[in-house]
Amino acid sequence: MKDKDIDFLKNISIFNDLREDEIKKIISILKIIKYKTGEIIINEGEIGDTMFVFKEGKVQISHQITLKLGSSWGEAEKSMAILDGSTIGFFGEMSLLTGAPRSATIKAITDCTLYKIEKNDFERFAKRNPIIAYSIMEKIAKVLSNRIVGMNDNILKLTTALSIALSKRKK
Q: At a CB cut-off of 8 Å and minimum separation 6, what does 1 contact?
A: 27, 30, 32
Question: Domains in the chain, ordered, with CATH?
Answer: 3-170 (2.60.120.10)
pLDDT for res 171: 62
pLDDT for res 138: 94
pLDDT by 10s per residue, the chain, length 171: 567 888 889 989 899 999 999 999 999 999 999 999 999 999 999 998 999 999 999 999 988 776 666 677 767 677 778 888 777 889 999 888 888 889 899 999 999 999 999 999 999 999 999 999 999 999 999 988 887 887 777 788 888 888 888 888 766
pTM, rounded to two decimals = 0.80
